[in-house]
Amino acid sequence: MTAEPWGPAPDGVDQPYWDGLTRGDLMLQRCDNCDTWIWGPQWICASCHTFDPGWQRVEPVGTVYTWSRSWYPFISELPVERPYVTVLVELSGAGGRRVLGILTGDDTDQVRIGDHVAGHFERDDGATWPMLRWRRVESEGAAA
Amino acid sequence: MSTIGLRGAAAVAGVSEQHYKRGEAPAGELRMTLEAVTRACADAGVSPRELDGFVSYAGGGHDGSVIGGALGVHDVRWSTMVWGGGGGGVAAAINNAATAIATGQADCVVVYRAMSQVDTGRLGYAKYFYGPHYLAHGVGSPAQVCALRTQRLLEHDGVPREGLRALVLAAYRHAQRNPTAQGYGKPLDVETYESSRLIVEPFHLFDCSRESDGAVALVLVSAERAKALRDDPAYVLAGAQGAPGGYSALVDNDEQYTSAGFAGADGRPGVADRLWAQAGIGPADVDVVQLYENFSGPAVAALIDHGLCPSGPAAGEVLTVDNLTAGVGKLPVNTSGGNIADSFVNGMNLAVEAVRQIRGTSTNQVDGARTSLFVGGPMAPLVSSTLFAHGDVL
């Protein structure tokens, strides 16, 4: 599969995020000047207006801020069986920034807001980019 | 510094609304736009040649020079598109027309929107509506982003899901008395609603608006002119727009996550606060509401933002089918059937119903309605509201 409608932006604003996925790292922006965590990717820090905020590796652990289960085939290129659950995860180590991801495992029907989750990286067959995906875990910081 | 007030400066003198099942319009968007504009002019009692302002939103085609040229207007003095927000900008378009009139930039302004799926495809299932940081995680439709926010509204804030259902059932109840509604003759009961297929949780099929083909136009003139044209103009009492929090640019990192976008925060008046301040009246003074329901959840969040309904479990006391029904309840909402049970022409059809309520010509008329609130697309990147009023209120 080469026609994924995702990947680095042509202007390069989020290239380190995608390079991080390839290495198995979750990379988020953090302003070099004022330490503010930033997501989604921006050219400028909204807090102090410094251009080109830096990037920092973040441990992919956090809690479910919200979730939804998609039944309709919204995205034909998505190599994931329907229905699937998308979670919005509030990261524990990034100033409360939230990232989206698909929830995997055999207990996705149990998902609730506040659940502890841990991230892992999966590359689907034929996919160009690995994806950060999530599993429910017993406690904060537990391994996926 | 002196400012020019919007309150009561302009009024809707003419309206036109036509809709068809999606994909079945007998004409394309340009022709339907011209039909709607000329019919709205006829309703107002003005010649299309008098139009000098043209306003739309959501990136619709056919700007002022195109429509003005086709109608042989004397001059196009105002041609403006609300920038961003999709259907969230629909009320902002009306406010924009009123602003042009209040400031003397134009005298006779038409606000319009036409949709034909043959021309522009479907809105709600448009792929690539969001960027790669949504798409990669299976989120590509406004339905899904609204579902994520609605799930937190229910599970975290405690708004009962039955409240969402009541909004949908009340819309269908209204549609049974509106012969032009697409839901006319198709009453909806609890069981049918609950057993309808899931689209994206927590939304069932009936929580999602229709998409219709059609065209809608509103003609606005100064209050003075409106009074000369007809005895029941719908005055623009107040209007506001806003884009708090960044919304989708921040990939769901905006702070007031379960707000529909109209709410203020400490030290920052929101769209609803600014609306009430301009109007000089509050939510308790609103007689009837036309509420853009892209989906049931965001519509409920918009009621909460406007102070028409409490948040949390207490929302269930306001959101009952009876309380939302014209002639029965205290908060009649979507009296034509709304986007869900009447038709969906990017929400502009609701503005026409808001005007009908002031005129006293709705098929679900609220007795003596003097204030009529129109709320644009909720949980959109930019949102807007317009409060219409009868001349008695000025």
Delimit the domains of chain A by residue range.
8-58, 59-144
pLDDT at A1 over 50: no
> Tens of pLDDT along B119-167?
887 765 555 578 899 999 999 999 999 999 999 999 999 999 999 999 9
Rounding to the nearest 10 degrees, give the CA dihedral for residues A130, A131, A136, A139: 80
Predicted local distance difference test score (pLDDT) of residue B126:
58
Those residues of chain B that have pLDDT short of 70 are: 1-3, 123-128, 245-249
Which of B343, B337, B341, B350 shows the shortest CA–CA distance to B377?
Answer: B350
Between CA B309 and CA B262 the distance in angstroms is 13
Predicted local distance difference test score (pLDDT) of residue B127:
52
Instruction: Give contacts of A102 with chain B, Cβ < 8 Å.
Output: 137-138
State yes or no: ipTM above 0.95: yes
Smallest CA–CA distance, residue B301 to chain A, in Å, is 16
Which of A59, A33, A62, A58 shows the shortest CA–CA distance to A48?
Answer: A33
Best of B253, B258, B259 to disrupt the A interface (most A CBs within 10 Å) is B253
Which of A20, A18, A16 shows the shortest CA–CA distance to A6?
Answer: A18
Between CA B270 and CA B104 the distance in angstroms is 27
Percentage of chain A beyond pLDDT 70 is 96
A59-144: in CATH 2.40.50: yes
Which of B115, B64, B97 shows the shortest CA–CA distance to B235?
Answer: B97
Q: Which of A83, A97, A101 sits opposite B137 (nearest CB)?
A: A101
Interface size, chain A vs chain B, as Cβ–Cβ contacts under 8 Å: 111
Between CA B327 and CA B306 the distance in angstroms is 22
Between CA B341 and CA B178 the distance in angstroms is 10
Verify whether the Cβ–Cβ distance B198 to A69 is below 8 Å.
yes
Measured over all CA atoms, what is the biggest interatomic distance in chain B, rounded to whole angstroms?
59
> Tens of pLDDT along A14-45?
999 999 999 999 999 999 999 999 999 999 99
Verify whether the Cβ–Cβ distance A39 to B253 is below 8 Å.
yes
pLDDT at A2 over 60: no
Between CA A71 and CA B186 the distance in angstroms is 25
Between CA A24 and CA A20 the distance in angstroms is 6
Between CA B379 and CA B383 the distance in angstroms is 8
Predicted local distance difference test score (pLDDT) of residue B1:
45
Residue B156 contacts A where some CB pair is shorter than 8 Å: yes
Distance of CA A54 to the CA centre of its chain: 18
Looking at chain B from residue 169 to 198, which residues have their Cβ under 8 Å from any Cβ of chain A?
197-198
Verify whether the Cβ–Cβ distance A88 to B147 is below 8 Å.
no
Give the pTM: 0.96
Q: Which residue has the higher pLDDT, B191 or A141?
A: B191
Query: What integer best gives the mean pLDDT of chain A?
Result: 94
Instruction: Give contacts of B253 with chain A, Cβ < 8 Å.
Output: 39-40, 97-98
Predicted local distance difference test score (pLDDT) of residue B248:
53
Note whether B218 and B353 are within 8 A (CB).
Answer: no
Predicted local distance difference test score (pLDDT) of residue A10:
94
> Tens of pLDDT along B242-261?
987 666 568 899 989 999 99
Verify whether the Cβ–Cβ distance A78 to B201 is below 8 Å.
no
Verify whether the Cβ–Cβ distance A6 to B135 is below 8 Å.
yes
Note whether A65 and A90 are within 8 A (CB).
Answer: yes
Predicted local distance difference test score (pLDDT) of residue B49:
98
Domains of chain B: 10-121+208-393 (3.40.47.10)
SS3 state at B362: coil
Which amino acid, residue B99?
T
Smallest CA–CA distance, residue A45 to chain B, in Å, is 12
Between CA B332 and CA B335 the distance in angstroms is 7
